[in-house]
């Protein structure tokens, strides 16, 4: 396809979404909820077709030599499809954020001003591999009154095509505009790049995937972006910390699910407690298969550890590897975290009131923990009902994003003929 | 200066701001307020120096042939300097947004989650001509705990340099880091473009100026942007509207200050009322020197009007010109506004409850008015205390932006050793 044709096709897809967004913005909660449940039912009714299309992707993936982990992320089966359907039903039961009056006041001249939640409009999502994101993301966007333009990875193209077709069909049967869910199915990177240029047609672009994807979107998008996901998370074990608690938190934060963004990547230990703490934490970590990359002071205590370089402080391993550094105190810990971290989730284990408060104030991250595992940073776990991603930027939303984060606001001003 | 040198210099300015931001983020309200008052005092004490430096810019501007309007925007005098100082004192009296607990809850496992306001970090502002923006913007950023990197226009470079020097000096005397206020004084467009690439060092970029400036920033920035200002605003006069009220609103919205973004640019009139209303509004409009660009139906009623083209529906005149179109009803009015408008401020004049409600819901703009002039869209007039700009995008903030819009949030999670 020529560059002009491609741009035209992407633009026409986005224009369809924009028209649908105008309808969705004034669609009531009952109608949106009914559509989500209809899509859930249709997903379960169409299970065989979905699994067949997914099998094509899996075959192609194996032929292309995808790793077992990636094949697993790509795979759909009966249970996963039921979970996707249940996810939609759960979202339908959440409160509709649209129309919420956030604040309001009356001016001396009698004008009444209200700030009201409205949908963003058209949400673009660029994501990798997992086809369940196709359904989860569309469900959250529809519930919050937004049209969605999806750009999945080429490796899931057959699954995504079938999933989007069935969502459009079921949504339309329930009275939503079919174009409320759009898929950019053209393969290759140019299609994603064109999507990033749709300023005015897409209101926000959310990349979900690895650091490379997110950087590409930030570099190239004229559409406003919400950066998500990269998590170089820290646990700092303070002087005088409860060693048993600190061991439990570090082991949980590193090993409970090492491949996710809220898993810990670096352990910082106060010099005074390092001699007792590091051997205590090493036993359970080594039993779980964790290897360490440590600075000199930590290696003096744990000769089993490998050598850490500057690079390690910046690395999101997403694996059973933990960087370890001995620090002189809270100042050095905070400085390390703010300098090398990704501002995602960071924890202190301490018994000291003042240092806990300083850590909360001075660590510049989306989620700052005192005496708890970083693994809790998640929309569902936080009790927000659902999650479209975890923002690591400061604009618009920070931390887990749910339905309210998929909305904007507008001011409604009611008068009796007031002029200035 | 070579491209590499320039990039290095801009980066070093932004790094200074970033370091200052870490200090400002934990600076208390009393200290910030004292610094704002100290800067206000220093402004008044240094009035002569400021006026001298401004005279250099005015001379250069006249030599370069700037219009009288631009020269006026550029000019500082004793009264304007007093107003800038008073603006800082007013901001110091506003409530500090930082530290506000926006929400909080306890999870079943005992974890307590709080969502707390924090500064954005480093705010970049690229603006045109008016040197009072230098002081106003810096004051709002400091109050909200942010460092600010200012990029004014070359035509105000002497004024801006002196104003920033004075703010840094007075801020430092009051205990703030001097680098909390930074000026990019290098002339030429490359400096602004480098600034737009400072992703990771600048947290948000706010362009304030004409459409060309804003488009350049949107196209080139890797830093998140808040678009401001372009206002193609409408007044729709509904069938059965109170003609006297409608005349007052249209005349006010068009003529009270035609050069600003919340002034009306297009009048839409219901066909049924056009014959009575258009002559009624024409008398006061023509007395104020307004010329009309009208569609055929409107010209049939007002032969004095010029001919409108498609281009006129998209034009922000910022002048005593008004586009006029006769529409068949609410649907056509809403469609016109959503299609041609800039989603800034739009008004309906009506007596009909249902149509008022539909207009509020379906017009996709930052400020939607029923029976009032669009001219009220302004942070100070809205009672928000101050204004850093008016956002016309949907992400992060929409409509007038004040101190809370210069903040982000973080989650603080307090536990007793909880793990997943």
List CB contacts (< 8 A) between A410 and chain B.
364-368, 398-399
**pLDDT for position A230:** 86
Same domain, B161 and B262: no
What tokens were used for A104? 């309001």
Q: What is the CATH number of the domain that holds B278?
A: 3.40.309.10
DSSP at A186: -
CB A365 to CB B410 under 8 A?
A: yes
Same domain, B97 and B218: yes
**pLDDT for position B312:** 98
For residue A73, how far is the Cα from the chain centroid?
16
Same domain, A370 and A281: yes
**pLDDT for position B386:** 81
CB A409 to CB B396 under 8 A?
A: no
Domain assignment present for residue A83? The answer is yes
Give the whole-angstrom CA distance, residue B176 versus residue B27: 8
* A-B contacts at Cβ under 8 angstroms: 199
**pLDDT for position B211:** 83
What tokens were used for A282? 């090493």
Instruction: Spell out, as residue ranges, where chain B has pLDDT lower than 50.
Output: none
Same domain, B203 and B352: no
Give the whole-angstrom CA distance, residue B153 versus residue B168: 19
Print burial letters for A249-266: b (CB count within 10 Å at least 16), e (below 16).
bbbbbbbbebeebbbbbb
3-class secondary structure per residue, chain B = CCHHHHHHHHHHHHHHHHHHHHHHCCCCHHHHHHHHHHHHHHHHHCHHHHHHHHHHHHHHHHHCCCCHHHHHHHCCCHHHHHHHHHHHHHHHHCCCCCCCEEEEEECCCCCEEEEEEEECCEEEEEECCCCHHHHHHHHHHHHCCCEEEEECCHHHHHHHHHHHHHHHHHHHHCCCCHHHEEECCCCCHHHHHHHHCCECCECEEEEECCHHHHHHHHHHCCCCECCECCCCEEEEECCCCCHHHHHHHHHHHHHCCCCCCCCEEEEEEEHHHHHHHHHHHHHHHHHCCCEEEECHHHHHHCCCCEECCHHHHCCCCCCCEEEEEEECCHHHHHHHHHHHCCCCEEEEECCCHHHHHHHHHHCCCCEEEEEECHHHCCCCCCCCCCCCEEECCCCCCCEEECCHHHEEEEEEEEEEEECC
Give the whole-angstrom CA distance, residue B269 versus residue B237: 5
What tokens were used for A159? 């699954």
Identify the burial level of B205 via C-beta atoms within 10 angstroms of its C-beta, where 0-12 means exposed, 13-18 middle and 19 or more buried.
buried
Q: Please list, in sequence order, all residues whose beta carbon lies within 8 angstroms of the beta carbon of residue A414, skipping any fewer than 6 positions away.
A: A111, A112, A114, B369, B370, B371, B372
Taking phi first (over 0 means left), then psi (-120 to 50 degrees means alpha), and beta for anything else, what does residue A374 get? alpha
CB A419 to CB B394 under 8 A?
A: no
Give the whole-angstrom CA distance, residue B209 versus residue A350: 49
List CB contacts (< 8 A) between B215 and chain A.
none
Q: What is the pLDDT of residues B31-43, one digit of tens each?
A: 999 999 999 999 9
Q: Please list, in sequence order, all residues whose beta carbon lies within 8 angstroms of the beta carbon of residue A107, skipping any fewer than 6 positions away.
A: A113, B381, B382, B383
CA atoms within 13 A on the CB side of A373: 25
CA angle A156, A161, A162 (to 5 degrees): 105
- Please count the structural domains in chain A: 2
Identify the burial level of A4 via C-beta atoms within 10 angstroms of its C-beta, where 0-12 means exposed, 13-18 middle and 19 or more buried.
exposed
CB A411 to CB B368 under 8 A?
A: yes
Domain span including residue A355: 233-376
Give the whole-angstrom CA distance, residue B393 versus residue B344: 9
CB B395 to CB A408 under 8 A?
A: yes
CB B375 to CB A121 under 8 A?
A: no
A22, A345, A376: best to mutate for the B interface, most B CBs within 10 A: A376
A241, A337, A417: best to mutate for the B interface, most B CBs within 10 A: A417
CA atoms within 13 A on the CB side of A13: 23
- Please say whether the beta carbons of B85 and B167 come within 8 A: no
A165-172's contacts with Cβ under 8 Å and 24+ in sequence apart are A166/A39, A166/A42, A166/A43, A166/A46, A166/A49, A166/A50, A167/A39, A167/A42, A167/A135, A167/A138, A169/A42, A170/A35, A170/A38, A170/A39, A170/A41, A170/A42, A170/A43, A171/A35, A171/A38, A171/A39, A171/A142
**pLDDT for position B188:** 78
**pLDDT for position A225:** 93
- Please say whether the beta carbons of A394 and B121 come within 8 A: yes
Give the whole-angstrom CA distance, residue A141 versus residue A242: 44
Helix (H, G, I), strand (E, B) or coil at A138: helix
Is the reported ipTM for this assembly greater than 0.85?
yes
CB B105 to CB A383 under 8 A?
A: yes
How big is chain B, counted in residues?
420
CB B419 to CB A368 under 8 A?
A: no
Q: Please list, in sequence order, all residues whose beta carbon lies within 8 angstroms of the beta carbon of residue B108, skipping any fewer than 6 positions away.
A: none
| Segment (H or E) for A295 | none
CB B420 to CB A360 under 8 A?
A: no
Comparing CB atoms, the residue among A22, A120, A251 nearest residue B394 is A120
Q: How do B407-418 and B112-119 pair as beta strands?
A: antiparallel
Same domain, A212 and A247: no
CB A371 to CB B245 under 8 A?
A: no
DSSP at A412: E
> CA of A95, closest CA in chain B: separation in Å?
17
Same domain, B63 and B181: yes
What tokens were used for A113? 């001003």
CA-based nearest residue in chain A for residue B113: A382
CA atoms within 13 A on the CB side of A22: 18
Domain assignment present for residue B420? The answer is no
Sign of CA dihedral B4, B5, B6, B12: positive
Domain assignment present for residue A149? The answer is yes
A228, A409, A411: best to mutate for the B interface, most B CBs within 10 A: A411
Domain assignment present for residue B61? The answer is yes
B18, B408, B416: best to mutate for the A interface, most A CBs within 10 A: B408
What tokens were used for A347? 């924890």
List CB contacts (< 8 A) between B226 and chain A.
395
Place of tokens 């703490």: A277
Same domain, A251 and A157: no
Domain assignment present for residue B263? The answer is yes
CA-based nearest residue in chain B for residue A206: B395
Same domain, B172 and B258: no
List CB contacts (< 8 A) between B417 and chain A.
242, 245, 248-249, 371-372
Per-residue pLDDT of chain A (420 residues; tens, 9 = 90+): 677 789 999 999 999 999 999 999 999 999 999 999 999 999 999 999 999 999 999 999 999 999 888 899 899 999 999 999 999 999 999 999 999 999 999 999 999 999 999 999 999 999 987 899 999 999 999 999 999 999 999 999 999 999 999 999 999 999 999 999 999 988 778 899 999 999 989 999 999 988 888 889 988 999 999 998 789 999 999 999 999 999 999 999 999 999 889 999 999 999 999 999 999 999 999 999 999 999 999 999 999 999 999 999 999 999 999 999 999 999 999 999 999 999 999 999 999 999 999 999 999 999 999 999 999 999 999 988 888 999 999 999 999 999 999 999 999 999 999 999
CA angle B367, B369, B371 (to 5 degrees): 165
CB B364 to CB A219 under 8 A?
A: no
Please state the φ and ψ torsions of residue A367, each to the nearest 5 degrees.
Answer: -135, 120
In the structure, how many helices (H) and strands (E) does chain A have? Answer: 15, 16
CA distances from B385 to A65, B127, B378 (A): 60, 21, 10
> CA of B111, closest CA in chain A: separation in Å?
8
Domain assignment present for residue A389? The answer is no
> CA of A97, closest CA in chain B: separation in Å?
15
> CA of B419, closest CA in chain A: separation in Å?
5
What tokens were used for A138? 């569309």
Comparing CB atoms, the residue among B203, B395, B415 nearest residue A224 is B395
List CB contacts (< 8 A) between A419 and chain B.
248-249, 251-253, 256, 372-373, 375
Q: What is the CATH number of the domain that holds B69?
A: 3.40.605.10
Domain assignment present for residue A37? The answer is yes
**pLDDT for position A1:** 64
| Segment (H or E) for A271 | helix A271-287
CB B371 to CB A418 under 8 A?
A: yes
CA-based nearest residue in chain A for residue B368: A412
Same domain, A142 and A122: yes
Same domain, B192 and B139: yes
> CA of B256, closest CA in chain A: separation in Å?
7
**pLDDT for position B1:** 64
Residue from A163, A103, A242, A107 nearest B382 by CA: A107
List CB contacts (< 8 A) between B342 and chain A.
none
Domain assignment present for residue A161? The answer is yes
**pLDDT for position A210:** 83
CB A372 to CB B418 under 8 A?
A: yes
Same domain, B253 and B322: yes
> CA of A369, closest CA in chain B: separation in Å?
5
CA-based nearest residue in chain B for residue A353: B414
Q: Please list, in sequence order, all residues whose beta carbon lies within 8 angstroms of the beta carbon of residue A328, skipping any fewer than 6 positions away.
A: A270, A271
List CB contacts (< 8 A) between A252 and chain B.
419-420
- Please say whether the beta carbons of A343 and A364 come within 8 A: yes
Give the whole-angstrom CA distance, residue B145 versus residue B138: 11
CA angle A331, A335, A337 (to 5 degrees): 120
DSSP at A57: H
- Please say whether the beta carbons of B263 and B232 come within 8 A: no
What tokens were used for A364? 């510049």
Same domain, B33 and B162: yes
Q: What is the pLDDT of residues B370-410, one digit of tens each?
A: 999 999 999 999 988 888 999 999 999 999 999 999 999 99
């Amino acid at each position: 396809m020529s560059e002009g044709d491609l741009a035209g096709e992407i633009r026409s897809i986005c224009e369809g979404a924009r028209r649908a967004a105008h309808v969705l913005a004034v669609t009531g909660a009952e109608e949106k909820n009914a559509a989500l449940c209809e899509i859930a039912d249709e997903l379960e009714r169409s299970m065989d077709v979905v699994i067949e299309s997914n099998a094509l992707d899996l075959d192609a993936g194996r032929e292309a030599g995808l790793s077992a982990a990636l094949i697993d992320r790509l795979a759909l089966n009966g249970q996963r499809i039921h979970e996707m359907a249940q996810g939609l039903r759960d979202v339908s039961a959440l409160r509709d954020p649209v129309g919420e009056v956030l604040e309001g006041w009356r001016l001396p001249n009698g004008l009444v001003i209200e700030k009201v939640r409205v949908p963003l409009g058209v949400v673009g999502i660029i994501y990798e591999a997992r086809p369940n994101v196709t359904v989860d993301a569309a469900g959250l966007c529809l519930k919050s009154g937004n049209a969605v333009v999806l750009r999945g990875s080429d490796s899931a193209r057959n699954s995504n095509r079938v999933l989007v077709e069935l969502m459009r069909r079921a949504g339309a049967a329930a009275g939503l505009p079919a174009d409320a869910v759009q898929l950019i199915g053209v393969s290759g990177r140019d299609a994603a790049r064109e999507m990033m240029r749709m300023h005015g047609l897409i209101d926000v672009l959310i990349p979900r995937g690895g650091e490379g994807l997110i950087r590409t979107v930030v570099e190239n998008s004229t559409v406003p972006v919400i950066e998500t996901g990269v998590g170089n998370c820290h646990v700092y074990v303070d002087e005088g910390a409860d060693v048993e608690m600190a061991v439990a938190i570090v082991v949980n934060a590193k090993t409970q699910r090492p491949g996710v963004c809220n898993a810990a990547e670096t352990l910082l230990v106060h010099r005074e407690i390092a001699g007792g703490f590091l051997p205590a934490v090493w036993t359970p970590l080594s039993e779980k298969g964790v290897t360490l990359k440590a600075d000199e002071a930590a290696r003096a205590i744990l000769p089993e550890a490998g050598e850490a370089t500057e690079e390690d402080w910046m690395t999101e391993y997403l694996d059973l590897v933990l960087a370890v550094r001995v620090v002189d105190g809270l100042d050095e810990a905070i400085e390390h975290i703010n300098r090398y971290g990704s501002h995602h989730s960071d924890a202190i284990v301490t018994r000291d009131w003042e240092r806990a408060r300083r850590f909360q104030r001075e660590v510049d991250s989306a989620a700052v923990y005192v005496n708890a595992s970083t693994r809790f940073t998640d929309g569902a776990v936080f009790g927000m009902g659902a999650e479209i991603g975890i923002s690591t930027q400061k604009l618009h939303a920070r931390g887990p994003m749910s339905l309210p984060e998929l909305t904007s606001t507008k001011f409604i001003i009611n008068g009796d003929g007031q002029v200035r």
